[in-house]
Structure 1
Amino acid sequence: MKNIVKIAVALFAMVQTIYAQKNTELWSAGRPDGHAPISVMGDHYHGKGDVMFSYRYMRMNMEGLLQGSSEISNAQGHDSGYMVTPLNMPMDMHMLGVMYGLTDKITLVAMAMYTQNEMDLQMRMMSGMTTQFSTSSSGFGDVKLGMLYKFVNAKRQSLHAIVNLSIPTGALEAEDVTPMSAPNKIQLPYPMQIGSGTYDLDLGLNYLGQTDNYSWGSQLRGTYRFDRNEFDYSLGNRYSLNSWFAYKVNDWISFSARGEVLAEERINGANPNLNPMMVTTADTANSGGKYINGGLGFNVYVPKGSFKNVRFGLEYAQPLYQEPNGIQLERRETLTFGLQYSL
């Protein structure tokens, strides 16, 4: 946390440096690398009266078990006292967003999402035999409303703040049938729920810079949960630092590389409807962790013609290091692509 504060102070100090430079040349979003890699949100702002619509699709895959940074088998997971352990979990997210330039300094933002989760699990019975089963959940998640505030844009560098509020519209009562509950449905564990159930504050600082053919940026971000939800728990706070570098090949396409440091705290509280000894995903000790991720991608931008201001972005990301708390599924690849259109 101390390192994150130091980074925030350094970014604010950068504002003074940019203001001190007498140069009116502005950072510009009107180029393929004028937006960050498609997985990064809140990376740019708009001028007064400008509108942008966006659609993103993200698929994240998790498979195999980790205990801390070490791989373990499902048998070892059972030996740790859990009757059920997960095998894999693919997650699909569809995100719709809109941005509107209220003034040249303030951009309003809104985002809604639809999530689909699937999980294959293994149960070890008293006889020692194992059987597999699957659960799934889907629905509209929490809605995010907020604003971006531009501090400065000069010397082809820019700095803005991110302030979002997540409204708990996503379901917390996703249910499915398991071998223990058949033929009835029971409430699914934490990773399979669609919403947080709490009002969450999302704060961030975003720095951007560019030359004729290159651009770069860093985004410091934190998500803070307010109180606990109706099931007496809240998801852990989340802190991340994203940095990226992009090369503009021409007016139409750019390629990017991104690195992310991510820390997630454990779930606070516990849902009384879940048995933490039944399955690893119902035990709050098995939540949160530390991660370092890397991604490669490209952006395509249409600067003129009938499809002017249409963008397409794609990024493939992979964990470079991960140390989850307790026993959790190992995070694998994440594929994100999206379309953006500005008016």
Structure 2
Amino acid sequence: MKNYITAIFLMASAAMFAQEIKEESKKWSAGRPDGHAPISVMGDHMHGKGDWMFSYRYMYMNMEDLKAGSDDATTESALADYMVTPTNMPMNMHMLGGMYAPSDKITIMVMANYLSMEMDHLTRMGGNFTTEVSGFGDVQLSMLYRFFNKNGQSVHGQLGVSLPTGSVTETDVTPASAPNKTELPYPMQLGSGTVDTNLAVTYLGQSESVSWGGQLRAILRFGENDRDFRYGNRQSLNGWFAVKTAKWLSFSARLEALVVGEINGEDPNLNPMMVITTDTNNSGGNFLNGGIGFNVFVPSGALKNLRVGFEFASPLYQDLNGIQLKNKETITLGTQYSF
């Protein structure tokens, strides 16, 4: 009788253990190439208790030619109202990030960036000149909290703050100021100058060889910086779909709806009639962006958990406030390593 009881106990324990393994296998997993979102999406995933992750991203963003609302515009139309118009603005950004999970439900994230930007200009008199700026931007601190993770699906929220470590007083020489430097327009500044709140909620789902996700994010700015203005709020909705083609490779497609508010206030050192980028009426807009990319994941060996991601993105539609440079291509390349 005692042997029967022991056998029944062992069988029940094995069944419970098997069920636990089965339930565990249903959880969303980061241990696959599509276990992370496209590389351009931030705060998309969490980590298990005690895990660390360090990341580096390089982003190239280009703005070129002019747009008024949703229609293309010419430099002649801009120079009818302003003394100077920009014609091109490439930006390079290097982002360093770190994540640590003190528990299975909480992940802490920090991110810093270094930017370099150029802006080419055309004057009403037909002259050309370029301004340049580079330096560190704002530092972001965030906490991610997991609400649930089961049935191959996961939902987590993000509460973050952006610290105004980037400058809003960058200067360079222009033909009107030579040989002295003058303060540069709003798009050429390195930071926001305000303490900004970063809120997001992210949904993730995956099956055997396919994954999908969505993220709703808002960057809310309050008060004014030392130059008596604040940049507009940003609201975005990202959705993506990825296919795992091998244990180490996946391909993704992403669609983003983005709303950027106008600049509030006005920098007293900038003349809004000089160049279109110093007029706050020419800021913000609505965008629909699309991107395609891939993720590479090392599942085993000395480089286990190393990732490389790439994405090429471009606007599908943009409706700009006033007259502004058009958004063009954005290229993001990054690597992530967790342990």
Measure the CA separation in 2 of the matches of 1:159 and 1:218: 10
Measure the CA separation in 1 of the matches of 2:245 and 2:266: 51
State the one-letter code of the partner of 2:304: K
Measure the CA separation in 1 of the matches of 2:23 and 2:228: 53
State the one-letter code of the partner of 1:323: D
Q: Deviations over 1:8-41 (max 9, x none)?
A: xxxxxxxxxxxxxx95510000000000000001
Instruction: State the match for 1:234 in structure 2.
Output: 230
Instruction: State the match for 2:122 in structure 1.
Output: 122
Q: Deviations over 1:167-213 (max 9, x none)?
A: 00001111000000000000000000001000000001000000000
Which protein has the larger Cα radius of gyration, Structure 1 or Structure 2? 2
Matched, 1:305 2:306: no
Query: Which of 264, 270, 294 pairs up with 1:268?
Result: 264
Matched, 1:45 2:41: no
State the one-letter code of the partner of 2:100: Y
In structure 1, stretches of 5+ residues that fail to align are 1-21
Instruction: State the match for 2:75 in structure 1.
Output: 74
1:1-343 to 2 correspondences below 5 Å: 24=24, 25-79=26-80, 81-125=81-125, 130-343=126-339
Q: Deviations over 1:250-277 (max 9, x none)?
A: 1100000000000000001010000000
Aligned to 1:149, what secondary structure does the other structure show?
Answer: strand
Instruction: State the match for 2:11 in structure 1.
Output: none
Measure the CA separation in 2 of the matches of 1:237 and 1:72: 25
Instruction: State the match for 2:19 in structure 1.
Output: none
Measure the CA separation in 1 of the matches of 2:78 and 2:169: 26
Q: Deviations over 1:232-264 (max 9, x none)?
A: 000000000000000000110000000000000
Measure the CA separation in 2 of the matches of 1:161 and 1:45: 10
State the one-letter code of the partner of 1:307: L
Measure the CA separation in 2 of the matches of 1:251 and 1:72: 47
Q: Deviations over 1:67-97 (max 9, x none)?
A: 0011111011011x10000000000000000
State the one-letter code of the partner of 1:58: M
Aligned to 1:196, what secondary structure does the other structure show?
Answer: coil
Measure the CA separation in 1 of the matches of 2:307 and 2:206: 19
Measure the CA separation in 2 of the matches of 1:93 and 1:178: 24
In structure 2, stretches of 5+ residues that fail to align are 1-21
State the one-letter code of the partner of 1:228: E
Measure the CA separation in 2 of the matches of 1:135 and 1:69: 27
Aligned to 1:33, what secondary structure does the other structure show?
Answer: helix
State the one-letter code of the partner of 2:94: H
Aligned to 1:276, what secondary structure does the other structure show?
Answer: coil
TM-score normalised according to structure 2 size = 0.93
Number of aligned positions between the proteins: 317
Aligned to 1:326, what secondary structure does the other structure show?
Answer: strand
Aligned to 1:281, what secondary structure does the other structure show?
Answer: helix
Percent identity, aligned pairs only? 60
Q: Deviations over 1:153-173 (max 9, x none)?
A: 000000000111000000111
